[in-house]
Amino acid sequence: MIAPPRDTSPAAWAVYLATLARMGPEGRLQAAIDLSESIRSIQIDGLLARNPGWDKADAVRYLVRKQFGIELPRSR
């Protein structure tokens, strides 16, 4: 079992673990996918805010290169 975050009370951690148990494997997988998609969207929004000349494809290419070391081609 993983240790609770330092800023989480034992009672709150118990509620979190019980919630995960009720979700079942499929629910936990879907929650992980949803969270990953949310994080990716936040990353893209941040890149676009810091790089006004970029479009979404530029931001996605940057993230893929940084996270996976893969250079995606530019679309025509």
Read off the pLDDT of residues 53-76 as tens digits, 9 standing for 90 and up: 999 999 999 999 999 999 998 876
Residue 52: domain span: 35-76
Angle 22-24-30 from CA coordinates, rounded to 5°: 115
Instruction: Kindly state whether residue 59 falls inside one of the protein's structural domains.
Output: yes
Instruction: Kindly state whether residue 51 falls inside one of the protein's structural domains.
Output: yes
Q: Which residues contact 16 (CB under 8 A, 6 or more apart)?
A: 4, 8
**What gap in Å lies between CA 70 and CA 63, rounded to an integer?**
9
Backbone angles phi, psi at 3, to 5 degrees: -75, 150
Instruction: Kindly state whether residue 75 falls inside one of the protein's structural domains.
Output: yes
Instruction: State the pLDDT at residue 27.
Output: 95
Domain count, the chain: 1
Read off the pLDDT of residues 25-63 as tens digits, 9 standing for 90 and up: 999 999 999 999 999 999 999 999 999 999 999 999 999
Q: Is the pTM of this model over 0.85?
A: no
